[in-house]
Structure 1
């Protein structure tokens, strides 16, 4: 067909919405026949005298309506003239190179459903933006929950026993903490010869609720909370949402730089520091014994509370001393079942300085409405029965098998990975940028996290990295398929110049 340049109708609506309507009209009338390729977004933006972003939003809107299909490295094509307001199935990206590297016995299993990777289009009749909802067919490498290795059977049996043993407690609100819940937390949090006193244990609804309760119990709105320049940023966002000020501290491969932390404390007087000493998210770094002692020394000098997030640390065998053992008077040691046993049960515990255990318990109740008896009892029985330890070993074995896939499909690339880690931290080859790579992967129905997801605030540091989880896909075959797509994108550097807005 000849070059298509639409005549955008006049109107009061936003330009991108009017352009999307024109594209839809031309598809219906046949001016854009089935199979026609829409102009590259930059070309159409130049022809119309508008921004590339405007064209990208229009293309996203007609893609949401099911009228066009966007494919990595190929462009946007007309599917048909019957609008569909829901998500639609799109053709698979070209996987020739990725599939060629997959053994024949695995290719037969690579039949995951391919649907639109994200539902983020804007409704012209509404000023806001829809909540992003990942499509069911996307392969989720943006999550690091424990892989499915048969937990459901044990959970089913334990749940039946709990419902038989405690019908009244299930029907009512939870007003007391049984000794067994504290005992389970004491056992699960124990590390490197250290075991917290039972009186310090507070059961929680997972680690994030625990950490937000700690921040609420130790700070007031307006107080400063310190985070590393790369960290689990959901905590930083939650702190900011609750009125706390987020402060960043420079870090190296081990964690916060003690001298820089000392400066931050002297200049800004923060109340608490959030750190992940073992298996840092997203870099996989681990603090040495010397660094741990240096951080504790700074904390004592400036009367700084410490939150020690060991959620990933529960996957790693180590002899390193926990911060809670070095400074029990100021360290909140947090752990959960989510990465090493099961995320859906939402089981977690805090070992708190004894002076603040009741405060953390009360803050957690105020913020969450109170812990679920069924989930807390289930979490405790998983630990006390030995099932949690057994599942952790099976989870580690599955993660190790998927780590071998990473080494097979991404040889030679610069990445931080380990056989006990449910994710890896990938350095992108030039000219890829982290945001572009994430968008291109989403267009290929693979969801990952770019480096901005781990920045607690604005920073001038650029790493050109993405975090890719390997534990969440349902099977190793699905993991293999996703890694093949990742490799295809890494090899096809020209795809980074396309726009997938």
Structure 2
């Protein structure tokens, strides 16, 4: 039996969570070796001054993480080759903000680090609809939103329906954008300490926000299509995530699109292991992906998220969740707790945009403009190794030797262009290096700026070691 004792003055969260995290850290560091027997619960509770219930909850958590095995009459032993990683000991807010891009672009720089919808004349459309809302509903605008009219749900159903996916209005929850929708689902169906599975590269603000509310990220290997089913199966068996976040119809940042077979395989694995799925479909309708959504394979455990930010207008904060049956009220309550509530003006604006057909018209304009910009980028980067799709507002560029992702990002900044390096999209700590950057071209003011910005990046790429050394 080991003489190891934890120090519960370190860490975050309730005592049982701190104890579980310290056991995991000790196993990862070797302080608790394979085969070591953990102290009996009653003894450990006495030694560290907590209740036996606290120790019991902690032991249950580490057993669920696949780190130990417990046998009645024999005790609890460290298992061979645990796959878990030690928890971060940094302040959760610091960890969640690490690596994020600057909020305000430096003056005079071209911003190619955003994928918000381009300006295609949204202003006059929004002005006219907002004016009508203020005339029609002055009382609702002046107060809190207490009632959700039926047409808000109907709008969500219409916007999110595509291919064979047709969510019922009763299963729709309007939200303050797609990000708020995702965090609301995470808050509603997982608990602090639970693991959430992400592809190695993903929309990392979700993993950072999840960490801020006490969830733990676990990475799953990926290829050009996205998450690899065999590795997802391994992670489910060894680390027992409660939820997986996926973008099968246009992965951000890799622009990968999952095959039908892979969607089915991931759905089957999630069902077998009881894992909830958040399917981010923000880009799906933009790229005309005709494959079935993962939700069509496992509707009982998949939350589909979409919104208006990439194809209509990011500033209106329009988003929706299509929930499994009987989950809408739970997500709606969680969304209110997480965000403070849905403003009537924005929710009504988004619903009217959709139900009048204005959103569909703006999406058609936006995707047409994005298509023109993607064609320009494809021409300007001819001969380089990159992945792009005709209606997707970004591309994923492989950097030639000797460029490193972070070094190129700094060189691009010096050249007047903001881009995202690969670290911006890592959902957790990983030793994998991709030597890639994401170039988002939808937020440039016009096509001329697209040409200027990508031409500057091309000049850096062509400069080879001279450009690299200039900014090392």
The 1-side partners of 2:389 and 2:441 are apart by: 11
Query: Could you say which residue in structure 1 is the equivalent of 2:333?
Result: 362
What is the aligned counterpart of 2:447 among 456, 476, 485? 476
Aligned partners of 1:451 and 1:464 also within 8 Å: yes
Q: 1:169-221, CA deviations, whole angstroms, 9 ceiling, x for partnerless residues? A: 10010112111110000000001032101100000000001100000001110
What is the aligned counterpart of 1:192 among 159, 163, 166? 163
What is the aligned counterpart of 2:127 among 156, 163, 170? 156
Query: Could you say which residue in structure 1 is the equivalent of 2:260?
Result: 289
Aligned partners of 2:192 and 2:213 also within 8 Å: yes
Query: Could you say which residue in structure 1 is the equivalent of 2:380?
Result: 409
Query: Could you say which residue in structure 2 is the equivalent of 1:51?
Result: none
Confirm or deny that 1:496 pairs with 2:434.
no
Q: 1:281-304, CA deviations, whole angstroms, 9 ceiling, x for partnerless residues? A: 011111111111101100110000
Aligned partners of 2:318 and 2:350 also within 8 Å: yes
Confirm or deny that 1:134 pairs with 2:134.
no
Give the drift of 1:457: 1.2
Aligned partners of 2:201 and 2:426 also within 8 Å: yes
Summarize the alignment of residues 235-384 of structure 1 with structure 2, pairs less than 5 Å apart: 235-384=206-355
Query: Could you say which residue in structure 2 is the equivalent of 1:213?
Result: 184
Query: Could you say which residue in structure 2 is the equivalent of 1:447?
Result: 418
Give the drift of 1:408: 2.1
The 1-side partners of 2:107 and 2:359 are apart by: 29
Give the drift of 1:319: 2.2
Q: 1:13-34, CA deviations, whole angstroms, 9 ceiling, x for partnerless residues? A: xxxxxxxxxxxxxxxxxxxxxx
Give the drift of 1:244: 0.5
The 1-side partners of 2:252 and 2:175 are apart by: 21
The 1-side partners of 2:304 and 2:107 are apart by: 35
Q: 1:278-327, CA deviations, whole angstroms, 9 ceiling, x for partnerless residues? A: 01001111111111110110011000000000011121213211112221
Structure 1: gaps spanning 5 or more residues: 1-129
The 1-side partners of 2:241 and 2:428 are apart by: 16
The 1-side partners of 2:212 and 2:310 are apart by: 25
Aligned partners of 1:146 and 1:342 also within 8 Å: yes
The two structures have a TM-score, normalised by structure 1, of 0.73
The 2-side partners of 1:344 and 1:275 are apart by: 24
Query: Could you say which residue in structure 2 is the equivalent of 1:47?
Result: none
How well do the aligned residues superpose, as a CA RMSD in angstroms? 1.3
Give the drift of 1:444: 1.5
Aligned partners of 2:287 and 2:389 also within 8 Å: no
Q: Give the total of aligned pairs.
A: 371
Give the drift of 1:132: 6.2
Runs of 4+ in 1 over 6 A off after TM superposition: none
Give the drift of 1:267: 0.6
The 2-side partners of 1:425 and 1:282 are apart by: 6
Aligned partners of 1:314 and 1:335 also within 8 Å: no
Aligned partners of 1:200 and 1:357 also within 8 Å: yes
The 2-side partners of 1:489 and 1:360 are apart by: 47
The two structures have a TM-score, normalised by structure 2, of 0.77
Structure 2: gaps spanning 5 or more residues: 1-100
Give the drift of 1:446: 0.6
What is the aligned counterpart of 1:391 among 352, 362, 367? 362
Q: 1:249-279, CA deviations, whole angstroms, 9 ceiling, x for partnerless residues? A: 1111122111111110111111000000101
TM-aligned CA distance change 1:475 to 1:255, over 3 Å: same
The 1-side partners of 2:115 and 2:324 are apart by: 29
Range with greater deviation from structure 2 (316-325 or 334-343) = 316-325
The 1-side partners of 2:173 and 2:287 are apart by: 23
Aligned partners of 1:213 and 1:364 also within 8 Å: yes
> Larger C-alpha radius of gyration, 1 or 2?
1
The 1-side partners of 2:114 and 2:103 are apart by: 15
Summarize the alignment of residues 18-97 of structure 1 with structure 2, pairs less than 5 Å apart: none
TM-aligned CA distance change 1:132 to 1:383, over 3 Å: closer
Query: Could you say which residue in structure 1 is the equivalent of 2:199?
Result: 228
The 2-side partners of 1:236 and 1:257 are apart by: 19
Give the drift of 1:353: 1.2
Q: 1:91-115, CA deviations, whole angstroms, 9 ceiling, x for partnerless residues? A: xxxxxxxxxxxxxxxxxxxxxxxxx
